[in-house]
Amino acid sequence: MISSAPHNYYFDQESDGMWFIGDFDEEATKLSHAEFIQGEWLFQLELKGRSWVRLIIERAHGVDARRSPAQRFTTEQWAFFKQQCRQASAQKGFRIELHAWPERTTPSARAFLYGNAEKATKDSGVHDIKAMRAYHHERMDAINLMNMMEPRHSTPMAIFEAVDKHKETMNFHLLRLKNHKYPKEHPWMQQCMAVLPELAKSLSPEQQELLGLSFHKRNGTLNKTFNQSRVLTLWAATHDLNGKVLRDDSGQPVGTRFLKTLMGASPFRQRHCGIHRANIMRDFRKHFIEQRIGKVDKSELYSQAHHEEFVRARNDFNREWLKLAKVFRKYEMA
């Protein structure tokens, strides 16, 4: 009897080749980079009791090479590989699909399978694909795979270039602010102090609490203390040093795709490029999530009950910080 489920193969790109492992395989297989992208091996795939085949590779290895240092194949090579998938599907008589694995899910997969221990072997390709397989089998519905065979409305390269340009300035000044305990004479500090009284009134009580903003009980004025790290990072993510809202080439204020790309930038790919992401995605998000699910040990986070709570809280945070950034975007210096 053939199951309606797919037979999954999990791939990881390493310097010595492409490692992959199937749902039922005990050992991993390695292809050279050239062998993988030429796609002749696709015509040898078998269903193994399933009705279709799904190839799953980390998204960082499947996007435009200009956007990911983890990518070694060109857009043209990927287009050829996708065509090979279609031809193999027609020849074999069953569907072969290509899907992208969320790249920031891999650390969670490693922690799920191996705990918090460091990699026990230099063979990281095998390590990662086994972790991906185990995590996917356990969290099938929670993993948001992206179908790479379908045409998608991708983020324009101009947004990536604008993010890279602003990120360099932003992180340089955020690092100086943090190291010097947020001096009042810095332009961004002066700008925030000028707009915060009005800006704070436009926030909900929950948003004010998240940013550490409060009002004097007697006279109603804004108290001088607030969470400088969160406020300054949100301001820096949406403004230049002159206090003007960042705008795109058409003169429109930068939108959601710019902000998501900015916060999605890896803190490890360039020196000092991650202070903004650390402020928002580590310190701020950790506080937000702990308020909702309590302080949970990382080793317990991957249990079914805690994981579902964590995912809901994380998704709530992703929506909340974008809302806050859009509020900050409404204010600028004259």
The total number of residues written for the chain in this structure: 334
Distance CA 334, CA 329 (A): 14
Residue 228: partners with Cβ closer than 8 Å, 6 or more residues away: 177, 182
pLDDT > 50? residue 273? no
Distance CA 46, CA 42 (A): 9
pLDDT attached to residue 144 = 81
In angstroms, the first-to-last Cα distance of the chain is 71
Predicted confidence (pLDDT) per residue in 204-232, tens digit:
999 999 899 998 888 888 888 899 999 99
Higher pLDDT, 275 or 67: 275
Structure confidence at residue 270 as a pLDDT band (50, 70, 90): very low
Q: How many CB atoms lie within 10 A of CB 51?
A: 13
Q: Tell me which residue has tokens 């929506």.
A: 319
Distance CA 299, CA 112 (A): 8
Domains of the chain: 3-147 (3.30.420), 157-328 (no CATH)
pTM of the predicted model as reported, rounded to 2 decimal places:
0.63
pLDDT > 60? residue 119? no
For the chain, what percent of residues have pLDDT higher than 70?
86
- Name the helix (H) or strand (E) containing 14: strand 3-14
Identify the CA nearest to 168 among candidates 282, 260, 277, 272.
272
HSE of 124, CA atoms in CB hemisphere, 13 A:
9
For 58-87, what is the mean pLDDT?
77
Identify the CA nearest to 259 among candidates 193, 177, 318.
318
pLDDT > 60? residue 121? no
Q: How many CB atoms lie within 10 A of CB 228?
A: 17
For 150-178, what is the mean pLDDT?
79
Higher pLDDT, 107 or 18: 18
Angle at which helices 157-179 and 228-238 pack, to 10 degrees? 150
Residue 101: partners with Cβ closer than 8 Å, 6 or more residues away: 10, 56, 57, 58, 59, 132, 143, 145
pLDDT > 50? residue 271? no
Mean pLDDT computed over every residue of the chain: 83
Predicted confidence (pLDDT) per residue in 313-323, tens digit:
888 988 899 99
pLDDT attached to residue 80 = 92
Higher pLDDT, 110 or 245: 245
